[in-house]
Chains A and B, each alone.
Chain A
Amino acid sequence: MAALKKETLLEWYRQMVLIRQFEDRCADLYFNSKKITGVYMHLYSGHEAVGVGALGALKETDHVITAYRDHGLALIRGVSADAIMAEMMGKRTGTSGGKGGSMHIASRQHNFWGGYAIVGGHLPLATGLALGARYNNTDEVVVSMIGDGATNNGYFHEALNMSQLWDLPNVWIIENNLVGMGTRIEDSSGQTELHKRAIAFGMKDLGRVDGQDVFKMYEAASEAVEYARKSGPVLIEALTYRYEGHGVSDKTFDKRFGDELKAWEARDPINILAHHITTKYKNMDAELEAIKAETLKVVDASVEFASNSPDPDLNDLVANVYVGRDYDVI
């Protein structure tokens, strides 16, 4: 792997801090000021190194698709915090015009194909996107994030088998945070080393990667992306941990998993990266603090933007049901 530039490390740091602050603010807006409403919101805190390392290996022309824990990946992809926050608040200026919500953040212009809320439902879509990329004879790859919980439903097996069968440029990344909703991995999977599922498909298995360490994620993803671009699909298992409950409805997460959570927080992905930066380069503390202050401003501004944005109206309610046809609602 080529030596990483200081600017790259600082950019990773910026992305990871922005995600953490954004997610913390979302929780605050949901539980305290109630500016974010609804029943679903799944935060990416704890997973930052997985997304930043993996997506850091991509070109702009590559594609990303994920499940409902999607805010962080959208931010990494370069989608504006304003538009994501507006979507969180159901505003017309949101990425999906306020019609998708937290679980359905997408931006076509960033090749970020969305968050999807049916577990595993986006996996064959990723197969199809990769089929399109190959059909059109491009060099694009498709990165798909997969929750550990999704590895046990039929979509996972069908989508990955088809991907291998057709040698499609898919990079499949399992974000194994050890708990699918509330069920631990050992209570849901006969084979808890999830990367080994690749063997069943005849797929290249890049093994289990430390998902707290952005360098290890970047290294594995770079190898995977290069392989997928030239040869075919790859499976990576990133071991990570979620700092919050499954979603906002999960209010007893701390009680159930508190000790384990503390152990994982000791290997916090942002701290690991900060430690690396301050060890490698001198006098970086002030610079890292400045980045934090800058990203906080981005988050503040996003809340301001979203709060002042218009709500969707009744015309929006019936728009985009079909392409090119006014929808005649009964």
Chain B
Amino acid sequence: MSSKNISMRDALHRALWEEMERDERVFVMGEEVGKWNGTHKVTRDMLDHFGPRRVKDTPISEMAIGGAAVGAAMYGLRPVAEMMTINFAFLAIDAIINHAAKVHYMFNGQFTVPLVIRAATGWGMQATATHSHMPEPIFAHFPGLYVGCPSNAGDAYGMLKAAIRDDNPVLFTETIALYPKPGPVPDDPDYIVPIGKADIKRPGKDVTIVSFARGVEWSLKAADALAKEGIECEVVDLRWLRPLDTATVFESFRKTNRCVIVEECLPHYSLGSEIAAQIQENCFDYMDAPIKRVSAMDVPLPFAKDIELAALPDEHKVIAAVKEVLG
């Protein structure tokens, strides 16, 4: 399939634009998505092209953005609501968890919520404590919601399309540091990355590295460096935290017998905790070493650049963890 090298920002922009062209029910709402062209410019030029019916600037009202998007989705539209950053989604957490995720079940299937909530995520920009989170595991805790977190432009394109076309609510997070990074994006407007399908970004036989979003970049860099020392890492990009593709993780682990989990999230009750628990429950006989987690440091994030970055994972921490599980 032919493809073009474009940034993740442009890939998301293109996916959203094409889906709005394809389906009249798809519309965009959120803070600054219209006249401002989107805080992260994913919705740029859309107000001019699609008009105010389909590109709706909202007040700074996250509870209402989340809740109104749920109501519009129940009615039969397919809203793509933007939370400027995931940090503000905390204000909408009731709408997302108590309503988006539960309405279908609670009323026994009478209503569906074909909703995508997009949110910029991640940290490492001196954004300080309240603006520096990667809390996706909190949202992935709840049945009824899907959580998608692309690591590159091509996946972002196919995953956002999958999310918009699905009849379930999806929290879709976009790592800010990845927005400018280019990657190949297929020229096929129906290119879909299936919901709940992980991807092996690099095959290997010695250690399984499970990661998602920006963690994949650190993992691949670490794998490159380790390959020079003769250590072959298999890098599993989960892509979706819910549904969680444990089958791919287990298959890889049963081959390598060792695992490192790399995430930008805080360590307690995180993706790492979940993957480690599931591996020991399902693959205990294949386990040759304790599972190691590389996570953010368990502190609120400070402003000062050097100490902030000290709290962030990087490829060096991944390399150290891989060596540790190899004994």
A residues touching B (Cβ–Cβ < 8 Å)? Answer: 95-97, 99-100, 104, 106-108, 113-114, 116, 118, 121, 123-133, 135-136, 154-155, 158-159, 161-162, 165-166, 319-325, 327-328, 330
Check A108/B67 contact, CB under 8 A, given A121-B94, A135-B72, A162-B59.
no
Closest 8 CB pairs of A and B: A128-B71, A124-B67, A132-B75, A158-B64, A97-B108, A125-B71, A128-B68, A158-B61
**Cβ < 8 Å to A, chain B residues 92-146:** 94-95, 98-99, 103-112, 143-144, 146
B212 at the A/B interface (Cβ < 8 Å)? Answer: no
Given contacts A128-B74, A132-B77, 19 further A-B contacts (CB under 8 A): A96-B107, A104-B107, A106-B110, A107-B110, A108-B110, A118-B99, A123-B67, A124-B65, A124-B67, A125-B67, A125-B70, A131-B71, A135-B53, A136-B75, A158-B64, A159-B68, A162-B58, A321-B104, A323-B168
Determine the chain A residues whose CB is within 8 A of the CB of B143 once the complex forms: 321-322, 327
A162 to chain B, nearest CB (A): 5
Within 8 Å CB of B12, what residues of A? none
Question: Could you give 15 example pairs across A and B, Cβ below 8 Å?
Answer: A99-B105, A100-B107, A114-B107, A125-B67, A130-B71, A131-B71, A131-B75, A132-B77, A136-B75, A155-B64, A158-B59, A159-B67, A321-B143, A323-B167, A325-B168
Q: A107-B110, A125-B71 are in contact. Are A322 and B59 (CB under 8 A)?
A: no
Chain A residue, CB-CB nearest to B79? A128
The reply to whether B67 and A133 contact each other, CB–CB distance below 8 Å, is no
Evaluate whether A127 and B71 lie within 8 angstroms (CB atoms) in the complex, with A106-B111, A158-B59 already known.
yes
Nearest chain B residue, comparing its CB with the CB of A97: B108
**Which bracket fits the contact residues of B?**
35 or more
Any A CB within 8 A of the CB of B27: yes
Chain B CB count within 10 A is highest, among A97, A154, A323, for: A323
In the assembly, what is the distance between CA of A235 and CA of B67, in Å? 19
The answer for the CA separation of A173 and B239 in the assembled complex, in Å, is 44
A320 to B106, CA, bound (A): 9
Distance to closest chain A CB from B10 (angstroms): 28
Is B73 at the interface (CB under 8 A from chain A)?
yes
Q: Are the C-beta atoms of B168 and A128 separated by less than 8 Å?
A: no
Type the 1/0 row for B25-67, where 1 means its CB is closer than 8 Å to any CB of A.
0010000000000000000000000000100101101011111
Contact A128 B94 (CB under 8 A): no
Q: Is B69 an interface residue (CB 8 A)?
A: yes
Write the residues of chain B forming the contact surface with A, with a CB cutoff of 8 angstroms: 27, 53, 56, 58-59, 61, 63-77, 79, 94-95, 98-99, 103-112, 143-144, 146, 166-168, 243, 278
Q: Which residue of B lies closest to A99 (CB)?
A: B108
A133 partner residues in chain B, CB cutoff 8 A: 75
Closest A residue to B92 by beta carbon equals A124
Residue picked from A97, A104, A108, A129, most chain B C-beta under 10 Å: A129
**Nearest CB of B to A45, in Å:** 25
Give the chain A neighbours of B111 by CB distance below 8 A. Answer: 106, 108, 113-114
Q: Are A104 and B77 in contact (CB-based, < 8 A)?
A: no
User: A101–B172 Cα gap in the complex (Å)?
Assistant: 31
Closest to A137 in B: B53
Pick the most buried of B66, B105, B168, B278: most chain A CB atoms within 10 A of its CB. Answer: B105
Q: Which residues of A contact B66 (CB under 8 A)?
A: 124
Report Cα–Cα, A319/B95, bound state, in Å: 22
Measured between beta carbons, the chain B residues less than 8 angstroms from A100 are 106-108
Chain A residue numbers with a CB within 8 Å of B166 are 323
Q: Are A131's CB and B68's CB within 8 A? A: yes
Min Cβ gap A224→B in Å is 19
B105 → chain A closest CB, angstroms? 5
